[in-house]
Structure 1
Amino acid sequence: MQNSQNNILNDIEAIGKIPAVAHILEIVCNITGMGFSAVARVTSDKWIACEVKDSINFGLVTGGELKLETTICNEIRQHQNPVIIDDVATDLHFSHHQTPKMYGFRSYISMPIILKNGDFFGTLCAIDPSPAKVNTPSTISTFRMFADLIAFHLDAVEQLAASEEKLQQELETAVLREQFIAILGHDLRNPLNAISSSAQLLDRLNHEDRSHRLVNIIRDSSYRINGLIENMLDFASGRLGGGISISLNQDENLEKILIQVVDEMQAVWPDRNIKLNFDFQSPVIADGKRVAQLFSNLLGNALNYSPPESTIEVTAFSNAKEFNLFVANEGKKIPDAAMERLFQPFSRGEVEPNQKGLGLGLYIASEIANAHGGELSVSSTDDKTCFTLIIPTNDSSK
């Protein structure tokens, strides 16, 4: 019952937000010579005046209610056709109707207001205690035009309200996004940095083999957690913000950057063999930190999904046209179904129990490639999987 009442109040408010309604009611009275006009909200159990023009002291004001069963609008709600009466006294159907007698009118016109979605809203109506010539094509077409205009404005008001609600939700989402990114970027990184620093300190102070193994486990876990945080930060910025941003630098020393990433990975996987083949003949305009992040994701992926005794092959070269990077590893073929969604977020191929992650690494790497105007692709056979990055050597992507 409370919801129904709230809906009625919202409908009255919606009509009140349409400045044209007051002018429409005044025009209706002027062209018909009738003294009372109104926009009525008619439901299955209520007749409510949303806006009123009253020069005959009918006594009904905005928000006023008539008993539904006593109104002709109740019948219009059911058949959704207009009702037009020049003079009740000479009208065959309404001369003995209860409504004209109850409310003391002789002329009457009421046009249904049908919303864009087909719902019946109510009526645009007018009455007068004297006869009036209203059953004419021009008057009927004018009322129909005004009813359609009111319906149009009601739809516009509803759409505006929906847009405002959506905007408010987006603002709330933006606040949550900023809080989420802050938690990832600050609150999680602080204890992670403490763990990583403590592991390094323990490694220096204690040289026992068992302690050394435990320190390596801590360091490895810290490295993987940091990678997860980086990927989630970029995912949040890319999907909830304006996309992954890059800062292009002239003549970026990508060879040095790639070697640094390999050294960091080698510290985490000291027993793995990584073979490098570099040939940089032309300078590359790129975001070095982003390329390092992309390469770290690809190399980490290769280390995770290849046999421990195998060799990871990293090939990189640049020429006057483009920069190429290949990261190849032995291992199982990536299934065709997984290949189709490999660069989508939260999507990973078949994994072993120790291969954990969120499935964001390859998505982030692909987005970094796109931001450079390049492309990241993959090929996979029964023997080898190879990820290929190609980006323009210059800034033609901009």
Structure 2
Amino acid sequence: MQQPFDTHDPFLRDVLSVQKISAVPTILEVICRSTGMGFAAVARVTEEKWIACAVRDEIQFGLTPGDELKLETTICNEIRQHQQPVVIDHVAAAPDWNTHHTPAMYGFESYISMPIFLKTGDFFGTLCAIDPRPNRLNTPETVGMFRLYAELIAFHLQALDNLEQAEMHLREEKETAELREQFIAILGHDLRNPIGAISNSAQLLKRFGTDEKTSRITGIILNATHRMDGLVENIMDFASGRLGGGITLQKELHQRPAEVLNQVVSELALVWPQRTIETEFNIRVPVIFDARRIAQVFSNLLGNALSHGKADCAVHATASADSGSFILRVYNEGQPIPEITRQSLFTPFFRGDVKKGSQGLGLGLFISSEIAKAHGGRLELHSDAIGTTFSLIIPQASGTPR
């Protein structure tokens, strides 16, 4: 009757899954007590095997979880084929079963078996019971109980499968998170350092090179390194924000905030020597903000205006501050931003229609918006047929930085 169970057999997973269902022992006990049957089991039944997954044996039938019966000797094999329950009160008095080989081989007189179907509709096996004595089984109450328990077991098997899938995805997410952390480290060190070296060298060449060709080449290098540095900065902020707690700030009270903004203008003027940047910074009070982050936002907004505005028109940047708020605006003339584009402009990786040579990752405005939110402020957009204005608005609270 019994065959040794190979622990490397793929069916072991199904046996262990049923073993994990805490309700199964109670189900088998209730079946035996309510029907008078001495043996009850959950069986995995396939085209190849019949394997006991869980057993309650009060008649020393001799099966334990993992044991296998020869498939052709079981009625469960027939149930797998026609997928209908089989209920026998008394084998000897049942014309369809009194000459069947299975009752004679295993010595039972009463038998009930209910198919177990997974949520996918696939046949898993059976919930079955046998006893050497006749028993009254073919009643709506008993058949209904077996059907309910079979559905309950199928539900738990599906839940376990979902849990296993979730745990697998969690492991994959942890591995991905580790790769992201390594990726951030590479960006922060192995890429930014050489970008800085290239930028510094280009600035030296531009300072000492007097001919037009050298100036043009160094301008191209500075433009490229500026864009690369901005891409790295935005990717690091995006990845760090998703892995950690979002944009981090180091707020300070700045007595001369215009210096922070003028530094950005000077940097971009080197990158865009052929363009005109007009500024009006009317800041009459000290401002509380993270200078590096505000410079990052201003660089993103000003860089976008230079990239997408009319080439023969100046880009205008204004800033003002009072006890109520700090407001930074960047304006450029050009085509209006379509309404459908505006709806997604501050979402990550959205780029809309971009000019050739100006392609980015679509993170600049998203990061800028997140920086504004981290300051308790907001980033606004106004665009019409005349031009486009981005406004950074940060409320100013009295007192010291927090």
TM-score by length of 1: 0.87
Q: Are 1:218 and 2:221 counterparts?
A: yes
Q: Which residue of 1 aligns with 2:248?
A: 245
- Residue 154 of structure 1, CA deviation: 1.9
Q: Deviations over 1:203-244 (max 9, x none)?
A: 455544433333333222212211111111122223454433
Matches within 5 A, 1:306-325: 306-325=309-328
What pairs up with 1:97-116 in 2 under 5 angstroms? 97-116=100-119
Name the counterpart of 2:343: 340
Q: For structure 1, which segment, 356-365 or 345-354, has the greater mean C-alpha deviation from structure 2 after superposition?
A: 345-354
Counterpart of 1:192 (choices 191, 195, 202) is 195
CA contact (8 A) 2:116 2:154 kept: yes
Q: In structure 1, the residue corresponding to 2:193 is in which secondary structure?
A: helix
| Residue in structure 2 matched with residue 172 of structure 1 by the alignment | 175
The 1:150–1:311 alpha-carbon spacing in structure 2 relative to 1, beyond 3 Å, is: same
Note the residue ranges of structure 2 that are not aligned, 5 or more in a row.
1-7
User: What's the offset of the Cα at 1:293?
Assistant: 0.6
The aligned counterpart of 2:384 is 381
Question: What corresponds to 2:20 in structure 1?
Answer: 17
> Quick check: 1:37–1:127 contact (8 Å CA) kept in 2?
yes
1:289 to 284, 289, 292: 292
Identity of aligned residues (%): 55
Is 1:277–2:280 an aligned residue pair? yes
- Structure 1's unaligned 5+ residue stretches are none
Q: CA deviation at 1:165?
A: 0.8
Q: Aligned partners of 1:60 and 1:72: how far apart in 2? A: 16
- Checking the alignment, whether the CA contact within 8 Å between 2:219 and 2:270 is kept in structure 1 is no
**Distance verdict in 2 for CA 1:73–1:283, change over 3 Å:** farther
C-alpha distance in 2, partners of 1:321/1:130?
A: 90
State the alpha-carbon separation in 2 of the partners of residues 104 and 344 from structure 1: 71
- Tell me if structure 1 keeps the 8 A contact 2:113–2:127: yes
1:228 pairs with one of 228, 231, 240: 231
- In structure 2, distance between residues paired with 1:248 and 1:156: 49
Q: Which moved more, 1:380-389 or 1:5-14?
A: 5-14
Find the aligned partners of 1:234 and 1:97 in 2 and give their Cα distance: 73
CA distance in 2: counterparts of 1:340 and 1:153, whole angstroms: 44
Distance in 2, matches of 1:19 and 1:337, equals 54
For residues 247 and 44 of structure 1, do their structure 2 counterparts lie closer, same or farther at Cα, with a shift above 3 Å needed?
Answer: farther
Is the counterpart of residue 47 in structure 1 residue 46 in structure 2?
no
Contact 2:42 2:126 in 1 (8 A): yes
How far apart, in 1, do the equivalents of 2:377 and 2:95 lie? Answer: 80
Question: How far is the alpha carbon of 1:106 from its aligned partner?
Answer: 0.7
Change (3 A) 1:375 1:38: same
Aligned partner of 1:372 among 372, 375, 392: 375
CA RMSD of aligned residues (A): 2.9
Structure 1 contact 252–286 (Cα < 8 Å) conserved: no
TM-score by length of 2: 0.86
Q: Structure 2 counterpart of 1:267, which letter?
A: L
2:183 aligned counterpart, secondary structure: helix
- Work out which of the residue numbers 254, 258, 271 in structure 1 matches 2:257: 254
User: 2:114 is paired with a residue of what secondary structure?
Assistant: strand
Tell me the alpha carbon deviations over residues 349-393 of structure 1, each in whole angstroms, 9 at most, x when there is no partner: 433333232222122212222333332222222331111222322
Match of 1:265 in 2: 268
Letter in 2 for 1:313: H
Q: Please tell me whether the aligned partners of residues 253 and 288 of structure 1 are also in contact (alpha carbons under 8 angstroms).
A: no
Residue from 75, 94, 98 that aligns with 1:95: 98
Q: Give, in angstroms, the shift of residue 116 of structure 1.
A: 4.3
Deviation at 1:296, TM superposition (A): 0.5
Deviation of 1:76 after TM superposition, in Å, equals 3.4
Cα distance in 1, alignment partners of residues 199 and 322 from structure 2: 39
Structure 1 counterpart of 2:100, which letter? H
Larger displacement relative to structure 2 (165-174 or 122-131): 122-131
Alpha-carbon separation, structure 2, partners of 1:114 and 1:365? 53
Q: Following TM superposition, by how much is the alpha carbon of 1:13 offset from its aligned partner in structure 2, in angstroms? A: 1.5
In structure 1, what residue type is equivalent to 2:302?
L
**What CA distance in whole angstroms lies between the structure 2 residues aligned with 1:140 and 1:386?**
73
CA contact (8 A) 1:334 1:349 kept: no
1:346 & 1:89 partners in 2: Cα distance?
74
- Distance apart, 1:330 and its partner CA: 1.4
| Residue aligning to 1:300 | 303
Q: Following TM superposition, by how much is the alpha carbon of 1:49 offset from its aligned partner in structure 2, in angstroms?
A: 1.4
Shift in Å, 1:115: 3.5
For residue 264 of structure 1, report the CA deviation from its aligned partner: 1.6
